[in-house]
Amino acid sequence: MAYIDTIETRKNMLQQKALELRRKIGQLPEGTLRCAKNNGYTQWFNYNPEKDNERVYIPKGDMRMAEKLALKGFYERQLKDIEYEIKIIDAFIKKYSRVDAQPGSSYYNRKPEYKRLIDKCLKEETPEIKEFLSMQYVTNAHPEGLKFTTKSGLKVRSKTENEIADMLDYYRLPYLYEVPYSYVKNGWTRTILLDFTILNPITFQRVGWTHMGRMDDPAYVKRNETHVADLTLLGFIPGDNLIVTYESLNRLMSSAEIDAQIIRFFPGIETWRW
């Protein structure tokens, strides 16, 4: 339900914006700005439909009134557009609640025979994906830190990593956990672990994901201050083929944020899953 979470987050933001606009509108003069051409000159009027369509001329010496009314009109237009979007979102959410969370499941679950055939096709992988997933490597030497288990049975180190792995599995993205990479720095060969190495199933490009989970811990930050820089030496570039996420005790990542990162780095992935 990460997608609907994103929509509801958007609605909440719009509602806050609408409240702020109503406050600003309430602080501006009554009436609506109207303009008219007279012998090539522009004349400004304060039009008030609530006072029998009263129209009061605004002299050029009082342009500040015209400016305030123009700003009010701009805010009112913004408010109208926002209220319209909220209305559309409400209608979408109402209809979305009746949509099957797994499109095609009515066919998939039609008969056991259908399910067996479909499962066989879905599990088929390209040679590139098979080769990637069969990579042999020795991971971190501290298995006692693997305290969380994903839905697929993978052991990871944090609740957020658990959610990231579950989301990658949801989108059927092939990935490996804590692959060690070696590089040379200052004449020394060093090894670094990358939280997730993901294979783009369309382009076969590798995309890394490193998650910094304790940014409010000075010791943790000190230990990892060159982590991203070191990953660039391996060809993992932030914003290109490296996802970098952060969180602290008071600022945890939401499932919607994880989903947004995946969609950003794998455009069109919503259509790949089905």
pLDDT (average), residues 147-155 = 90
Q: Report how far residue 32's alpha carbon sits from residue 68's, in angstroms, rounded to the nearest whole number.
A: 10
Mean pLDDT of the chain: 85
pLDDT digit string (tens) for 59-111? 888 889 889 999 999 999 999 999 999 999 999 888 877 766 556 667 766 77
Residue 274 is predicted with a pLDDT of: 44
pLDDT digit string (tens) for 187-245? 889 899 999 999 998 888 999 999 988 888 888 888 888 889 999 999 999 999 999 99
Residue 9 is predicted with a pLDDT of: 83
pLDDT at 273 > cutoff 60 = no
Residue 271 is predicted with a pLDDT of: 60
pLDDT (average), residues 23-27 = 94
CA 194 to chain centre: 22
Rg of the chain over Cα atoms, rounded to whole angstroms, equals: 28
Residue 100 is predicted with a pLDDT of: 63
pTM over 0.75: no
Question: Dihedrals φ, ψ of 178, to 5°?
Answer: 50, 55
Domains of the chain, by residue range, sit at 2-96, 135-272
CA 133 to chain centre: 27
Q: Are 234 and 210 in contact (CB under 8 A)?
A: no
Q: Are 178 and 139 in contact (CB under 8 A)?
A: yes
Q: Are 161 and 211 in contact (CB under 8 A)?
A: yes
Q: Report how far residue 262's alpha carbon sits from residue 6's, in angstroms, rounded to the nearest whole number.
A: 13
Q: Band of the pLDDT at 55, cuts 50, 70, 90?
A: confident
Q: Higher confidence at residue 153 or residue 99?
A: 153
Q: Report how far residue 69's alpha carbon sits from residue 86's, in angstroms, rounded to the nearest whole number.
A: 25
Q: How far apart are the first and last CA of the chain?
A: 16
Among the residue ranges 17-26, 61-70, 132-141, 153-162, the one predicted with the least confidence is 132-141
pLDDT at 181 > cutoff 70 = yes
Enumerate residues 6+ apart whose C-beta is below 8 A from 154: 165, 177
The yes/no answer on whether domain 135-272 falls in CATH 3.40.1350 is yes
Handedness of CA 5, 10, 16, 19 (dihedral sign): negative
